[in-house]
A and B are shown apart, each in its own frame.
Chain A
Amino acid sequence: MAVANYTKIEFLGKSANESFARSAAACFAAQLDPTLEELGDLKTAVSEAVTNCIVHAYPNEIGRIQMKCRIMGDDTFEVSIKDWGCGIEDIKKAMEPLFTTGGEDRSGMGFSIMECFMDTVKVKSKVGKGTTVTMKKKIARKKSR
């Protein structure tokens, strides 16, 4: 599928950038004319992935995070969020509901929420190298609603 439009943003893994990242993704997706519910879903999924980079990938430092958004010719919104942090040893286990290494501050629901709100969620990770989470969601055209 051809790429109709894209943007790439890099930012520091500071918690203040969580709202920046999800708002930027939603702003870019706005050209697909999504419903409020679809926009909310995108924002939530991006917030989960970016928070994971800040909390888990870089536990003792402020690292770099890259977010790429693509709009495909078939009105699919694709977002990938990449860090160069600690990586995930067992991806399957990490994606199980309630699994967390974050203690009482976290609920272990981040990946479940991403999977619930997006059509597909793919995770690539290498211990010591970093993690990339790529998510897709088809945005229905208003005309056909």
Chain B
Amino acid sequence: MKITGYCKQGVLTLNFNGELDHHSARAAMKALGERIDAFMPRECVLNFKELTFMDSSGIALILRADKRMKEIDGRLLVVNVPAQPMRVLDASGIDRLINISGK
């Protein structure tokens, strides 16, 4: 799992590349938390375009990112979600809590 990103005009975009499971989640959460803390964006966009696999570990990551963004009065968006991760998000019902859009 590789995370790259940039912040422009208060919008932090983070690109997830690879597989997000329990093995990769801890480092991903750390990278995400550090970047939110560094930029304090008003909007954080998780770009899942190159996310090749995700299980429930990804749900916990999204929920924590959302919580962190709410703490700084910002909002979280999850975009370009491929079919397999989308099925996991649908099954979990968090699409009702988080702003998610497909590929």
The residues of A with any CB-CB pair to B shorter than 8 Å are 15-16, 18-19, 22, 36-37, 40-41, 43-44, 47-48, 51, 54-55, 97, 104-107, 109-110, 112-113, 116-117
Contacts and interface: CB of A to CB of B under 8 A. Distances in A.
Given A18-B21, A18-B23, A19-B23, A44 B57 contact: no
Given A18-B22, A40-B84, A104 B64 contact: yes
A107 B22 contact: no
Contact of A109 (B21, B64, B87, B92): B92
Contacts of B22: 15, 18, 51, 54-55
Interface of B: 19, 21-23, 25-26, 53, 55-57, 59-60, 63-64, 83-84, 87-88, 91-93
A97 to B, nearest CB: 8
Given A18-B21, A51-B22, A51-B57, A109 B91 contact: yes
A55 B26 CA distance: 13
The 4 A-B pairs of least Cβ separation, nearest first, read: A15-B23, A40-B84, A116-B91, A107-B59
Contacts, number: 69
Contacts of A51: 21-22, 55-57
Given A51-B55, A110-B56, A113-B55, A44 B92 contact: no
Contact of A43 (B23, B53, B56, B93): B53
A109 B64 CA distance: 15
A58 B91 CA distance: 27
A41 B53 CA distance: 11
A44 B55 contact: yes
A40 B88 CA distance: 10
A40 B19 CA distance: 12
8 contacts: A18-B21, A19-B53, A40-B84, A54-B22, A55-B22, A107-B59, A113-B56, A113-B92
A109 B25 contact: no
Contact of A48 (B23, B25, B56): B56
